[in-house]
Chain A
Amino acid sequence: NAGVTQTPKFRVLKTGQSMTLLCAQDMNHEYMYWYRQDPGMGLRLIHYSVGEGTTAKGEVPDGYNVSRLKKQNFLLGLESAAPSQTSVYFCASSYQRGLAGYNEQFFGPGTRLTVL
């Protein structure tokens, strides 16, 4: 049981290049999330998904696109990278809210992206 995995772990891009970050979970979770972590700003939600085939915007969605074609995968795309997108990106997943009444999110190890 690998939990939440992210690919790649590190990446350096030049301004204007594109790339896709892959998140995979093997816990059969309904919900998946993409965050970015910047110094002094905590984690900010980029996009999220409440089920296969659905996506929604979070707090800072501009410059990013996402897709959830399979329940276990959540892809984050940068079409034209900018230096402001230099950050550490975390994927998370969780069960649909149920009897527990709360939402524990399980996080991947992160992807460190540098845009030059």
Chain B
Amino acid sequence: GNSVTQMEGPVTLSEEAFLTINCTYTATGYPSLFWYVQYPGEGLQLLLKATKADDKGSNKGFEATYRKETTSFHLEKGSVQVSDSAVYFCALDTGTASKLTFGTGTRLQVTL
């Protein structure tokens, strides 16, 4: 079946540090891949997406590249801010009934 594996958190960084959150997946076919972000006390919202191999999704300074050869979709940001503190979820959509499969989430804490 489909699955998503994310690195364990929490991840604690100082402001302006470089961020990487690893995500690998197992899926049949050619899934679309997503990163969702959940700010404290809120629901999830889409951060970025990639729908085919080698696509790069980007938004708010975050980037992730769809690597089919390594089945990965790692999230990166060159300089994090305190306001980036949140839980980040990697997810995939194989197109079956439009359901998403989520990873367990990675909590990011950015300090001054």
Contacts and interface: CB of A to CB of B under 8 A. Distances in A.
Contact of B49 (A41, A43, A102): A102
Given A43-B89, A102-B93, A103-B32, A31 B43 contact: no
Nearest to B33: A102
Contact of A50 (B49, B89, B97): B97
Contact of A104 (B46, B99, B102, B105): B46
A12 interface: no
Residue from A42, A107, A108 with most neighbouring chain B CB atoms (10 Å): A42
Contacts of B95: 97, 103
B98 A103 contact: yes
Chain A residues touching B, range: 20 to 34
Interface in A47-64: 48, 50, 56, 58
Contacts of B26: none
Contacts of B97: 48, 50, 56
Residue from B4, B43, B44, B93 with most neighbouring chain A CB atoms (10 Å): B43
B104 A97 contact: no
A97 B44 contact: no
B52 to A, nearest CB: 9
Interface in A76-116: 90, 92, 94, 96-97, 101-110
Nearest to B95: A97
B102 A109 contact: no
27 contacts: A4-B43, A31-B98, A42-B4, A42-B89, A42-B103, A42-B104, A43-B102, A45-B99, A48-B97, A50-B98, A90-B43, A96-B98, A97-B98, A101-B32, A102-B32, A102-B51, A103-B95, A103-B98, A104-B34, A105-B44, A105-B46, A107-B44, A108-B43, A109-B41, A109-B42, A109-B43, A110-B42
